[in-house]
Amino acid sequence: MTRLNEANVIIAKEIIGRYPKARSATIPLLHLSQQQNGYVTNEAMVQIAEMVGATSAEVLGTATFYEMFKFEPVGKYLVNICGTLSCALMGSETLLHHAEGKLGVKAGGTTEDGLFTLERAECQAACTEAPCLQVNYRYRYKVTTAELDQLLDDLAAGRLDGEVPPHGTVARVRQHIPADKAVGPVPPDAVVAPPAWITEGAK
């Protein structure tokens, strides 16, 4: 069962309902399927294509463009060590090599127990706190090799379960637009006049 489950289909429909064109929901729905399965499955892409009115090839085309989508299982924890300039200046290469040694995999690899996938990542917007890394997109700043060891041990022992959800879950809070407050999507072809406050002024 790698299509979206019933609960996620309801969320998917809510997401699609916010956009003037359903196709805009492609990336959010790919995230939703990755949250459910840990990676994006072929079945999920076929289903998303049906839901947003695209072909499955178009959904695959979009999905493969983006770094965050994985198409085969990755570790429960995706460890992204930044290697761009600010972090490189502060020793990120050492950190990456240390992580490779500790986990016994090269950057890009997954440990045999399926717990960790290690990646060399590009700039994560924490440049003043270099060297930095993300575990499932949760930050760690000014990381020393000792702190990295501790982090990996804590993750493996499940001590950070509350803070770091398994790979696939990015934001744990979702937007919900209450029905009585929603204006609804504004379709590009159905509206030809300026909004009321432009013609009448705010009243």
Partner 1 sequence: MSRYAWAPGYTDDGDRPKIVTSRFQYEDGYTLDRYLATGGYVGLRAALGRTPSEVHDEVKSATVLGRGGAGFPAGTKWGLTPQGVWPRYLVVNGDESEPGTYKDRLLMERDPHQLIEGCLIASYAAGLSQVFLYIRGEMALAQERVAAALNEAYAAGYIGKNILGTNFSIDIVLHWGAGAYVVGEETALIESLEGNRGMPRLKPPFFPAAIGLYGKPTIVNNVETLSNLPWLLTNGAAAYTAIGTETSPGTRIIAVSGHVKRPGVYEIINGSTTFRDVIYGEEFCQGIRDGHELKAFIPGGGSAPWFLPDQLDLPFEAKMVGPAGSMLGSGAIMVMDETTDIPAMALTLVRFYAHESCGKCVPCREGGTWLMRIMERVVAGRGTQRDLDQMLEIGQSITPGQYPHAASERLGLAAAPFPFRMTTICFVGPSAYNAVDSSLTLFPDEFQAKLMKRTSIPVTAVGADS
Q: Which of residues 124-143 bind partner 1 (CB under 8 A)?
A: 124-130, 134, 136-139, 141
Binding to partner 1 by residue 38, rule CB under 8 A? no
Taking the least distance from each CB to partner 1, the nearer of 1 and 7 is 7
Instruction: Tell which one of 66, 101, 149, 159 touches partner 1 (CB under 8 A).
Output: 66
Binding to partner 1 by residue 26, rule CB under 8 A? yes
| Least distance in angstroms from the C-beta of 178 to partner 1 | 6
Binding to partner 1 by residue 122, rule CB under 8 A? yes
Binding to partner 1 by residue 170, rule CB under 8 A? yes
Q: Residues 79, 116: contact at Cβ < 8 Å? A: yes
Phi, psi (rounded to 5 degrees) for 202: -75, 130
Q: Is 27 exposed, middle or buried (0-12, 13-18, 19+ CB in 10 A)?
A: middle
Q: Residues 121, 81: contact at Cβ < 8 Å? A: yes
Helices 6-16 & 42-52, crossing angle to 10 degrees? 40
| Least distance in angstroms from the C-beta of 112 to partner 1 | 26
Taking the least distance from each CB to partner 1, the nearer of 31 and 76 is 31
